Structure 1
Amino acid sequence: MPKKRAAFAVTLCAALGLLAAAPGSAEAAGTVTSHHDPHQLKPKTQHAAPAVITGAMSNHGGPVQSAPQIYVDYWGWGADPSGEQAYLNRFLSSIGGNPWLATVNQYGGGSSPVLAGTWSDPAAIPASPSDAQIQAEAGAAALHFATGNSVNVEIVVATPTGHSTPGFGTQYCAYHGAIAGLPNVTYTDLPYMSDAGSNCGAGSVTGSALDGVSIVEGHEMAETITDPLLNAWYDAGNNEIGDKCAWTGLGTVTTSAGTFAMQPLWSNSANNCVMSAPNMLTAGSFEQNTTGWQRLVPPGGIVNWANYNTAAGAPAPAHDGTGYLAFNTNIGGGSVYQDIPVNVGAGASYTASVWLSSQSGGASGSFCLWGLGATNTNTCVPYNVNSSSGYQYFQISYTAPQPVSTLRFQVYPAVNGGTTDMDTAGVVRIG
């Protein structure tokens, strides 16, 4: 089977006309420098005292993924005792546009929705596939998905429990590189992460065996976006955006599909590891501060609001810190908002997120992100929350169809629809 797969990969390359280096590839550029291929994430046990690796990354001349497309190949899966397939699908289908991934934007990488497709390949998988066999399977997936030769394509070869490449859990947790013979298409070898236990992150944040799945795949995804051909963004020690923060500052990231264990990413602009791109909103956590926030009160109406401090007594809890903003209205169009000067052209993309609850009973309304100065450029989602369920997460994305001068983050509570509690609000640029 392995020999057939290797031969098939060569046939694939010839069929797609991909054996010659394409413009923008490492082979064609001539002015780029590259580092070790493939590039591995070492197990947690090889970081006895995990620490941030300081020093800026620089671009060594290679391309980045400006519009990443991730295709997951579940090769030969049968049993899935930890539920990794469903977890990985939820993660990849919702992490695009999230403030965590927006950190790659400063390097020219894209962070819009990234999952382009999944495939359950029924072909038999060796007990311990070699890297050459992983690459051949990635080539088969490229043919299945008809990806072409774009540098934006990443094939994640996810192997089932008990079928990892030699060295998994002791020498590496996952790795990424370029497919041999497909000079622009990248691949990630993603073993069944919970097989390695705590060595590859199981139980390291939430106590779940699945923690390592999102930590490790998030690491590989961000590195593939910013250094797909291993000749773009890395530091003087060959450390990529994920390596510099590996196994340090672990936390959680919430998306529309749930909460996932994650590691931070290196930000040149912050000169540190960060869990999110810079928030464009002022006072988004309302820590006894409403700077930048305003009320829109139509004639004859009322918009009540209060900035509560739970440390001094408040009718409900905060989502983070001790402050939150509560508001309600008795008139249609009444709202709370903040304007952000941007002056951008068509195509600029942003993500807005917020946690909403109600201090008693329920509350409903709409959460919006507007591009002022252009027509029909609002994106809104409804919300319906209640005090018994606590804070709920809402996220929306907006792409300017024409030049806009100002973004408006706005929440419209329903008329006499209860008091909305708002906390942890943010806006980040994603493209």
Structure 2
Amino acid sequence: MSSRSRRLAAVTVTACTALSMAATLTATLATTASAAPASTGSTSATAGSGGVTNPYSPAYGHPYRHGAVPTRELNTQMHRWEAQTKGARPTSSKTLSYGGGVDGIGVTSGGAEKVYLVFYGTQWGTQGTDSAGNLTFTGDTKKGAPLVQNLFKGLGTGGEAWSGVMTQYCDGPSVAKGATSCPSGASHVLYPTGGALAGVWYDSSVASPSQATAKQLGDEAVKAAGHFKNTDSTLNRDAQYVILSPTSTHPDGFNTASGNFCAWHDYNGDPYVGSTSPYGDIAFTNMPYVMDMGTSCGQNFVNGGTAGTDDGYTIVEGHEYAETITDQNPAGGWTNTTSRTYSGQENADECAWISPGSAGGAGNVSTTTGSFAMQATWSNDTNRCDLSHATVS
């Protein structure tokens, strides 16, 4: 074959390869588009991203992942994107504004916070009880179950002031949509005096799915409401159900290539979840066994050695709790709606993975039941990430 013929053949092969790649990309995009949930209102871009503009966010393209905690590595990518786009996107304020409520619910304000912990699936192993009355499980290799129970028993005790940050947020008919502060007489998030833990249940009737869907997690939360006899909307007005999956499971793709997150929260009425509830709206958290991801989800983020093995469990769950009580039916509560850089973020998102010792950094929060690694959350009235705050009544 002449050199000219060889060149023509090479060009033909290259062109065919390019056409094949383009066809594959087109088919992939078409498949992705057809698999996405139908738009429920606003523009398709907003619906597809859940209001999130950062393409590295685990909530981007997954609008039900409200308050999603990114892995530490992904968080770095998110901040890198923010830094690169601030010139083109100058609105970078972290101030939160009120979303107007969904089904009349913006924040947890009707009464004291009620946290129900649901250990989901037989993989948790054999149940026991420790000296403090906490449930223990033979499948809980990192001993996270009693730790998270003690966390919620301890909130609102011993003068802990971490909970005070959230008490500045409010809802009710006197709070205008878009407000960035609360008017006199509004219903505020309450300080969890005496603890926030309302119940613990080991659902050993089923195995936890290997990759539970958002709907399966929502269905489990509704099932838990029935178990705890919270069978009307009034009883669930101030309740949240934490669905704790066992080790080696991947709820919503956690710890897989498509799940670079540590946890997220939502409520059953979100059309992207679609769980039917006869008990009113049900707020819930997808809480994976974050110790399976090691330092990516907070191991030793605050404390060294074995003392910090479960740092991520309390940091991440504290993150979701703080966001649920300030945005119970997302996004009817307090979120960032004015900044392109931080669009869609909630109070804990804006302070995620700030190193201890830095301004607004994570640290240990002391209560009568122990000391727990926690992150700061955003405070509108101080315009910064705060680990403590005076209680607002």
Bin for the TM-score computed over the shorter chain: 0.5 to 0.7
Aligned to 2:349: 243
In the alignment, what sits opposite 2:98?
59
> Is 1:152 the counterpart of 2:152 in the alignment?
no
TM superposition shift of 1:59:
0.5
Instruction: Please report how far the alpha carbon of residue 173 of structure 1 lies from its aligned counterpart in structure 2 after TM superposition.
Output: 0.6
Aligned to 2:163: 101
Partner of 1:135, secondary structure, is helix
Q: Which residue of 2 aligns with 1:82?
A: 142
Higher normalized helix content (fraction of residues) = 2
Q: Residue in 1 aligned with 2:323?
A: 223
- Larger RCO: Structure 1 or Structure 2 (Cα < 8 Å, ≥ 6 residues apart)? 2
Q: Say if 1:118 and 1:430 are closer, same or farther in 2 by CA, change over 3 A.
A: farther
Residues 211 and 253, structure 2, Cα contact 8 Å, conserved in 1: no
**Are residue 189 (structure 1) and residue 286 (structure 2) matched?**
yes
**Residue identity opposite 2:383 in structure 1:** N
Q: Is the 8 A contact 2:244 2:289 kept in 1?
A: yes
Shift of 1:49: 7.0
Larger proportion of strand: 1
Match 1:206 to one of 303, 326, 335: 303
Evaluate the alpha carbon distance shift between residue 54 and residue 251 of structure 1 in structure 2; reply closer, same or farther with a 3 A threshold.
farther
Which residue is equivalent to 2:263?
174
Deviation at 1:228, TM superposition (A): 0.7
2:388 to 255, 262, 276: 276
Within a 5 Å distance, the mapping from 1:316-331 to structure 2 comes to none
Partner of 2:209: 126
Shift of the 50–261 alpha-carbon distance from structure 1 to 2, 3 Å rule, reads: farther
- Equivalent position of 1:266 in the other structure: 378
Listed as ranges, the gaps of 5+ residues in structure 1 are 1-26, 28-32, 279-428
Contact 2:221 2:282 survives alignment (8 Å): no
Runs of 4+ in 1 over 6 A off after TM superposition: 49-53
What code does the residue aligned with 2:346 have? Answer: E
Identical columns (%): 33
Q: Give, in angstroms, the shift of residue 159 of structure 1.
A: 0.8
For residue 134 of structure 1, report the CA deviation from its aligned partner: 1.2
The answer to whether the Cα contact below 8 Å between 1:168 and 1:196 also exists between their aligned partners in 2 is no
Gaps of 5+ in 2: 1-40, 42-46, 52-62, 83-91, 126-138, 170-187, 269-274, 338-342, 355-360
SS in 2 for 1:56: coil
Aligned residues of 2:114 and 2:238 also touching (Cα < 8 A): yes
What's 2:185 paired with?
none
The answer to whether the 8 A contact 1:152-1:185 is kept is: no
3-state SS of 2:302 partner: coil
User: TM-score, normalised on structure 2?
Assistant: 0.60
Q: Is the 8 Å Cα contact of residues 209 and 251 (structure 2) preserved in structure 1? A: no
Mapped partners of 1:114, 1:50: distance in 2:
32
What is the letter of the counterpart of residue 297 of structure 2?
Answer: C
C-alpha separation between the residues in 1 aligned to 2:94 and 2:243? 32
